[in-house]
A = this chain, B = another copy of it.
Amino acid sequence: MAKKISFSSDYTKGAHPRILERLAETNFDQQPGYGTDDICKSAAEKIKKACNAPQADVFFLVGGTQTNQTIIDMLLKPYEGVVAAQTGHVAAHEAGAIEFSGHKVLTLNSFPEDSNNSKAVYSDQVGKIMAKDLRALIDGFYADDNHEHMVFPGAVYISHPTEYGTLYSKAELEEISAICREKKIPLFLDGARLGYGLMSRRTDVTLEDIAKLVDVFYIGGTKVGALFGEAVVFTKGAPTAHPVPIIKQHGALLAKGWLLGLQFDTLFKDNLYMDISKNAIDMAEILRAKLEEKGYPIYIDSPTNQQFIVMEDDKLSVLAEHVGYGFWEKTDENHTVIRLATDWATTKEDIEELMKWL
């Protein structure tokens, strides 16, 4: 039986072939452990240059939840929590990893009203936090006479793209950043799908903007061309003199750390990370046009590689036989929202194969 094609997520395939080639080429080169090798240094330099952030500290960790947990634990004092959208990954889908390390997630509403008149049920604002809500939370906290009995807002977490594929505008990031700086609260941007955000046709945000506006962010590798790995960038230097024992304590210090460096060193050579991210966007745009053409209701007006449509369950069961998709939620008894994600390796043929069954 032929292998079923899948659009269920952007982490279903291995790595960009150049990464595999380089793994093979360097396989018997011997490297020192724990990220102290020259390949990690080279990758960090390339990333700092791409970010125009010469003063940055760059670390490489293995996966998203691990990275979120470790960074947030580095940022917060014991009595502080992290502010996040209620739909943010750290709030909703990390099995309590933040609380496991002792910190509360302070949530903001992330289903803002649709002000865009988009044809989607949810506009391109869903999944984001609003600057005014952030300010209200912080000001409300300090205005409360009892705030020493409450959890201090000690860091702000945003994802870009969000878990719903949506993006902050540069103006929005600037506004959130300004609040964080005014309140001396570090701003952390989860870029698990950062490439797909940067290459969106509907963004005015660059990598350099992000490096300038946030205190720490990570460049996702797992979902963008790497076997695994996330590159953490503390834009103004790490908040601790001893990141290694903290990373080790979280079980996050990879023995063969150069495997992470090698992947990012490859992705940040010759613009590869951006090029393959652009592929996912190009394919998503083609996909979206075809979906609209066929009349599928768009559920979220996503400008990135994740597309969300509403399907009748009868048609969905036909689709399920031939193509993998991501279940999102039920809208009523007979309809389901599904996610279709393109990635760095999706081809036009893949889209055509998918459309055959839609």
Contact = CB atoms under 8 A, between A and B. Distances in A.
A103 interface: yes
B27 A11 contact: no
A9 interface: yes
Contact of A65 (B32, B248, B324): B248
B255 A64 contact: yes
* Interface residue range, chain A: 35 or more
Contacts of A145: 327
Nearest to A330: B143
A175 interface: no
A297 interface: no
B93 A253 contact: no
A131 interface: no
A178 to B, nearest CB: 24
A27 B23 contact: no
Interface in A13-46: 13-15, 17, 20, 23-24, 26-33
A79 interface: yes
Given A9-B33, A12-B31, A254-B228, A95 B70 contact: no
Copies held by the complex: 4
B259 A100 contact: no
A27 B12 contact: no
Given A150-B95, A255-B64, A11 B33 contact: yes
A6 B33 CA distance: 12
Contacts of A251: 63, 65-67, 69-70, 97, 250-252
Contacts of A64: 255
A73 interface: yes
A151 interface: yes
A203 interface: no
Contact of A246 (B78, B223, B254): B78
B14 A63 contact: no
Interface of A: 3-6, 8-9, 11-15, 17, 20, 23-24, 26-33, 62-67, 69-70, 73, 77-79, 81, 92-105, 145-146, 148-152, 222-223, 227-228, 240, 242, 244-246, 248-256, 259, 324, 327, 345
